[in-house]
Structure 1
């Protein structure tokens, strides 16, 4: 019982479309929605397509992905290197400048004084850089699994994400 030529052609088209959308940076969920399949099915199609690619093309694909990651990394480092100010209701927030008002009381001029720095963009840039580096390590196979020796009466459960367990048999 083989697949009809029409079904094979449709599967090849679907596979090519998944690869094209993934190269554009689409998530598996978005790809699945566009193709009318589940996120899991889009992921399966993607990995099956990767396995069918000759080794030379895989090397080229990794280089393309690494280039994209490099560009993202440059952008994240640019954000990290900039100074960011706190803005509230469209205005730059300042510490305020203390002074004595006309009634002889201490007051604060909110429009003057030192600008309040905003660390959130820098912290997000750091988080993004770490995520990009983690992706690069996975892409290049830099994170090798660590062998764990477990003794005694211990139940161990392994959860594999992004792996089709059927392919491991």
Structure 2
């Protein structure tokens, strides 16, 4: 039995809202809570909506996502290149009369850069699976239980 025009319109509105929220970077869990569905259902609505989008729009979506990633990457590199000093209890920590550098923000920026690059690779399909061939001789022996082998001959 087909869906009524009202149901189809409600589904289309829901899919549009899922796409809008996802483009803003909202998680599937948060989208599900907002729409009153499970995280899995929100993801399914999203993937179904993506499948329905013509190829040109998919390319535009990828370009839009790549631009967002570029901006995030630019900001992460700004943090990475900045000098960070160690502060404890509101006071700068000194080592040999020089402010001690804090490596934590730098390491977090590196982690962020890697996460952005991983996302970009997934978005653009850069991480293709690697085929592996396993070699060697394998001998298989079959054993039949409960079968009279003499009766089969």
Select the residue among 103, 112, 116 that pairs with 1:119: 103
Tell whether 2:129 aligns with 1:145.
yes
Flag the structure with more relative contact order, 1 or 2, with Cα contacts below 8 A and sequence separation at least 6. Answer: 1
TM-score (norm 1): 0.77
The RMSD of aligned alpha carbons is 1.4
What's the CA shift string for 1:67-92, capped at 9, x where partnerless? 00000000000000000011111111
Aligned to 1:158: none
- Count of aligned pairs between the two proteins: 137
Displaced runs of 4 or more, over 4 A: 150-153
Q: Over residues 113-161 of structure 1, what are the superposed CA-to-partner deviations in whole Å (9 max), with x where a residue is unaligned? A: 21111000000111110110010011011111112334669xxxxxxxx
Corresponding residue of 2:18: 18
TM-score normalised by L of structure 2: 0.85
Structure 1, unmatched stretches of 5+, are 97-112, 154-169
Q: Which has the higher helix share?
A: 2
